[in-house]
Every structure is written in C-alpha cells, then in structure tokens.
A = this chain, B = another copy of it.
Amino acid sequence: MSSTSFEPRGDKQAVEEGLRFSPKFDTDGLIPAVALDATTKEPLMLAYMNAESLRLTLEKGEAVYWSRSRREIWHKGATSGHVQRVREIRTDCDQDAIVLYVEQIGAGACHTGRSGCFYRRIDGPDGSMSLTEDGRRFDPGAVYGKS
C-alpha cells in the first residue's frame, strides 16, 4: 500500500548517517519498538510494528502496534483508554529498531496491571527472579473485563 510505504533503503552510509527514515522490517514485515516513559525513562514494553502501524503511529502521535497473537493492528489503549502519546520517536543506526518516548495515559502500560512490563529482575544464572518495586497500579479485570 502506498500509504504505508517508506523510503527505499540506500547504502550503509545513507542508512547510518542519512536523515531520511527507511526502516528495515524483518521477514515477517515487523520491526521491534521499545516504549520508554518520556518522564521517568523507565522501559514500559517491547512490541512490534508493521509498516501500517508504524505509519499510523507517526500520523496519530499515539503508539499503534501490530499484535502478533491476534494478527491485527493494535492501537494501544483503544479499549482500555491507556493510550501512549508519543513525545519522541527514534530509530537506530541500521534502522531496524524503534524507540518511542511516550506519555502513558492511565495507570499503566502492562496488561497485568503494572506501569510497565519489565517488573521482574533476573537474579542470576540459576534463573531465580525477584519483583522490582513496580507493583500493580490497576485491576486488569476492571479495565479489560477479564481477570
């Protein structure tokens, strides 16, 4: 679709030093996107975008992902109200990853009821984990209508 096309990718120099966005999508047509809280800089979530959702994100100024499980465009917060207002969007040297600095509307980004998805630290090679201080901020059942 022409509405979701981006610049064709040039050579290494153009990709790394140029100022035209030419994202590289993987073989599934996806690019990983990391949402960081624009204020606290805490990592909120890592999700994926296809060309259409990336274009919609740029147009709406709100994060729009591609749901790999539901195989559909996923306008984050469309049902819960917990939208992510995009304050800044960046790409990396080879333009195959996205960072979003967002204002998370509502109590949190994670479907488990927490502000972000990265609420557990791995303590060592034995695979034990512990919770960070990021406890539940909202009741997922009340927000999403399921427990």
Please report A residues at the B interface, Cβ cutoff 8 Å: 6-7, 16-22, 32, 34, 36, 41-43, 45-46, 55, 58-59, 88-94, 97, 99, 110-112, 114, 117-122, 124-125, 127-132
Contacts and interface: CB of A to CB of B under 8 A. Distances in A.
Contact of A127 (B7, B114, B124): B7
A125 B5 CA distance: 11
A127 B90 contact: no
A41 B41 CA distance: 6
A124 to B, nearest CB: 6
Given A20-B129, A41-B41, A32 B46 contact: yes
Contact of A46 (B89, B92, B111, B117): B92
Which 6 pairs, one residue from A and one from B, show the smallest C-beta to C-beta distance?
Answer: A92-B117, A21-B127, A41-B41, A46-B97, A90-B118, A58-B125
Contacts of A97: 46, 117-118
A120 B6 contact: no
A19 B91 contact: no
A110 B97 CA distance: 14
Nearest to A110: B93
Contact of A58 (B22, B88, B122): B122
